[in-house]
Amino acid sequence: MDEGGLQIKHDLCIWQRAIFSRQDSEPPIRPVLELKDVSLSIHTGEAEQFLLSQISVHLPHGHFAAIIGPSGCGKSTLLKVIAGIKEHDAGEIHWQGRDVMTDGDLDPHEIGYVPQFSIAHELLTVEECIESTLRLRVAGQSGEELNACIDKVLAAVGLTDIADRRVSLLSGGQKRRLAMAMEMVSSPSLLLCDEVTSGLDPKSEDEIVHLMHDLSRSDKRIVLSVTHSLQHVALYDSVLVLYQGHLVYHGGPKLLAHYFGITNPADLYPRLAERAATDWHRSWEKYRPSYYEQSNLPAIVPAPAPVKYDEKTGLPEMSEEETIERLRKIVEEKDKAAAEKKEDARDDEAHQSATRVPNAFAQFGVLLARRWKLFFRDRGQVILQLALLFGFPCLVVIFALDGLPQVRGLVADGGANLLERARQEAAALQQIAKTGTLVSGLIMFQVILLALMGSNNSAREVAGERNLFEKEKFAGLSPLAYVASKVTFLGAIVFAQSLWMTIFVNMIVGFQGDFVAQAMSLFLVNAAITAVCLGISAWMKSAEQSSLLSIYLVGFQLPLSGAVLALPKLLAPVTQIFIASFWGWSGFIRSMENTRYYDAIKQIAQTEPAGGTLCLLVLSAHVVVGLFFAYTGCKNSRWE
């Protein structure tokens, strides 16, 4: 063989080694969304129960797929695993070629998630819901751009004619449209819909399914819909069937009846019950390649066949023609993959730039404005707050009316002669028990009423909108911005309640002492209970649980304060540190140290009031601890 032939042979050998080298070879082109042997299990005692078992799915761009199956088969769980709400135990999930486990979950702009529950405030209008969602998710938009985007989203989901209607007045189908509209503000490439057609009448269900189909046809979007209904199977590009956590079919809807040997899709669930889920799964794994090919789904590439090598040369047993053809295909695939990757990168970069999430400060402003709007639109809440603000101080004054002469006459006249002063002192001693009890009781009454206000302020503040908050947090909302908006709103309420209580009661009763210290004590005890109840609300699963626990917290304030009944000496230091009412009561009393009120209270008090500075520090610590639990509770996931 001449030198030219030897050179060609040498080059072919190099190409052969490159083609079959594990280090140099690249994987085949992957679909946009790929699940490979995804599994999720829970432990019940010593047994392990699989919620999902070896789920493998490939989906391309612009695809509309349904996830169906009997109740409890893992449909919603699979959707939450794809979304990153639940973490799978085994397997891989790839999005546009990247592993979400190692490279991070999908960015908020890439994914939209429509849960089963309502994700909109009932007192806002349709347009206001979309506007607040847009302001929370997309930064850097001018007023004109914002309005244009709102109009576009409203038109896309067919809600333009009812943009000014409040959410509370919407039908079930309209609420589902609104839920999808709120997800579309960031134009996600993957839209996950969990039971969005459940509970709807046939007409509304038909409209929602067609809307999801239309959304899948724009911007190369993948739409995955969990549903029990088999009424609109023909509209989907593919159907995933789950049975007891196993994937038993994924293919075109026209092939569904053929694969399961049924004539009507409604017969699917009884048919599934005829065999074990593991048998169905093994059968599907066997026939999957054929059905994927017929359904135009991205093929699941099998492991490459083992290559035989020549023992003498160490080269693969391939002819020159086979080597050249193999190399040509690899070059074509690489060029195509590179072009697609570059195009996707440009699209993704442009999309990220257009859907940059606002910073925490901007989100804080949107949340705070929305909270005040909701407050003033809730007439019941406004009336309740006004009743508490003006009614509770009147209750304190009513109980003090009979005691006003004694309270006002307690301070001796320094200008009187010794005999008159002695008479005043004698009279004061006769009334000191009654007066001390009255003053101490009035102070504690104010403290307990403010504790009740604090509980009412925040017990339902987070728990009452937990689902909505989790949805917004999933879409990029900062928990810090959320908590800060709550603290600012509640801080204004607490300030008004505490200041008016101090001013009104002092104006009528005429308490002596340091007014600023008294106002600070009442403000901090209200703020402490408000903050602690906000923390409770952030950790509870429901508003009812949070309200109940908050009421218990207030209920223990009086008996465990030691102001009415003395606590055992061993128990008092342990319990009182956690009782805000004790520190509020003590701080108020200490503000009157230079008056005869203080002497009167000391004569009858079962418990020694703590120092004024210490009271303020402890109550401030209660506020800090409450806010810490509020933040950590909001930061942790509480999906239903």
The model's pLDDT over 189-228, given as tens digits with 9 standing for 90+, comes to 999 999 998 888 888 899 999 999 999 988 889 999 999 8
Structurally, how many domains does the chain consist of?
Answer: 3
User: For the ranges 296-305, 460-469, 532-541, 565-574, which has the lowest average pLDDT?
Assistant: 296-305
143 and 228 in a single domain? The answer is no
Q: Residue 603's closest CA among 433, 461, 451, 465?
A: 433
Give dist(CA 98, CA 345) in Å, integer: 12
From residue 480, alpha-carbon distances to 219, 275, 364, 375, 471 in Å are 33, 51, 8, 21, 15
Question: For residue 519, which of 440, 456, 450 has the smallest C-alpha distance?
Answer: 450
201 and 183 within one domain: no
SS3 of 2, please?
coil
CA separation, residue 59 to residues 96, 208, 235, 250, 577 (Å):
10, 22, 16, 10, 58
Tell how far CA 390 is from the center of its chain: 35
- pLDDT of 228 reads 85
For residues 244 and 371, membership in a common domain is answered with: no
Q: How many angstroms from the chain centroid is the CA of residue 121?
A: 14
- Which residues share a beta bridge with 416? none
Highest mean pLDDT among 15-19, 212-216, 327-331: 212-216
Residue 289 counted as domain residue = yes
* Of the candidate ranges 264-268, 280-284, 588-592, 614-618, the one whose mean pLDDT is the lowest: 264-268
pLDDT number for residue 332: 64
606 domain residue, yes or no: yes
pLDDT of residue 592: 87
Q: In this model, does residue 4 exceed pLDDT 80?
A: no
Specify whether 366 is located in the same domain as 430: yes
C-alpha dihedral sign at 178, 182, 183, 184: positive
C-alpha distances out from residue 186 to 153, 234, 331, 354, 492, Å: 10, 29, 36, 8, 33
Same domain, 201 and 160: no
Same-domain pairing of 72 and 122: no
Could you tell me if residue 314 is inside a domain? no
Q: What is the 3-state secondary structure (H, E, C) of 412-476?
A: CCCCCCHHHHHHHHHHHHHHHHHHHHHHHHHHHHHHHHHHHHHHHHHCCCCHHHHHHHHHHHHCC
Average pLDDT over residues 365-374: 96
**pLDDT > 50? residue 23:** no
Among 78-87, 190-199, 516-525, top mean pLDDT goes to 516-525
> Residue 410's pLDDT band (boundaries 50, 70, 90)?
very low
The whole model's pTM is what?
A: 0.82
> Is the model's pLDDT at 524 over the cut of 60?
yes
Residue 513 pLDDT greater than 50, yes or no = yes
The token pair that represents 636 in the structure block: 């942790």
Distance of CA 210 to the CA centre of its chain: 29
DSSP per position, 217-231: TSTT-EEEEE-S--T
Confidence bin at 431 (pLDDT 50/70/90): low
Tokens matching residue 399: 């109980």
pLDDT band, very low/low/confident/very high, at 325 (cuts 50, 70, 90): low
pLDDT of residue 24: 43
575 and 623 part of one domain: yes
252-263 pLDDT tens trace = 998 998 899 988
Regarding whether 130 and 93 lie in a shared domain, the answer is no
Please report, for the domain that includes residue 82, its CATH number: 3.40.50.300
> What's residue 593's pLDDT?
86
- Let me know if residue 319 belongs to a domain: no
In a domain, 466, yes or no: yes
Q: Say whether both 369 and 256 belong to one domain.
A: no
In the prediction, which pLDDT does 453 show?
Answer: 96
For residues 414 and 317, the model is more confident at: 317
Q: Which domain holds residue 115?
A: 111-187
Average pLDDT over residues 297-301: 71
- d(Cα 123, Cα 125) in Å, to the nearest integer? 7
Arithmetic mean of pLDDT, 387-415: 70
In tens, the pLDDT along 590-623 reads: 998 887 778 777 777 777 888 889 999 999 999 9
Per-residue confidence at 353, pLDDT binned at 50, 70, 90?
Answer: very low
Residue range 345-374: mean pLDDT, rounded? 77
Mean predicted lDDT score pLDDT of the chain:
83
Specify the pLDDT at position 200: 86
Helix pair 543-555, 515-539: axis angle to 10 deg: 140
Confidence of residue 328 (pLDDT cuts 50, 70, 90): low
**How do strand 90-95 and strand 98-99 relate by DSSP bridges?**
antiparallel
State the pLDDT at residue 520.
96
Q: Smallest Cα–Cα separation from 67: which of 201, 222, 241, 187?
A: 241
- Within a domain: residue 318? no
**Tokens matching residue 98:** 């990247």
One domain, residues 122 and 258: no
Sign of the torsion angle spanned by Cα atoms 151, 486, 114, 102:
positive
pLDDT attached to residue 313: 54
Question: What is the number of H-type helices and E-type strands within the chain?
Answer: 23, 10
At 523 the pLDDT is 97
pLDDT higher than threshold 90 for residue 315: no
Give domain status of residue 500, yes or no.
yes
Six-digit token string for 221: 């979007």
pLDDT band of 248, cuts 50, 70, 90: very high
Give me the helix-helix angle, 479-509 and 612-635, nearest 10°. Answer: 150
Please indicate whether residue 592 or residue 537 has the higher confidence score (pLDDT).
Answer: 537
Assess whether pLDDT exceeds 90 at residue 550: yes
- What is the 3-class SS of 151-186, one letter each residue? HHHHHHHCCHHHCCCEHHHCCHHHHHHHHHHHHHCC
8 Å CB contact between 67 and 95? no
pLDDT at 351: 46
Residue 485 sits in the same domain as residue 398:
yes
pLDDT of residue 349 exceeding 60:
no
Pairwise CA distance, residues 240 & 225, whole Å: 10
State residue 29's pLDDT score: 39
Domain assignment present for residue 322? The answer is no
pLDDT in tens, 89-145: 899 999 988 888 887 778 888 899 998 877 899 999 999 999 999 999 998 888 888
Residue, of 540 and 312, whose pLDDT is higher = 540
Is the same domain home to 116 and 86? no
Contact of 397 with 509, CB cutoff 8 Å: yes
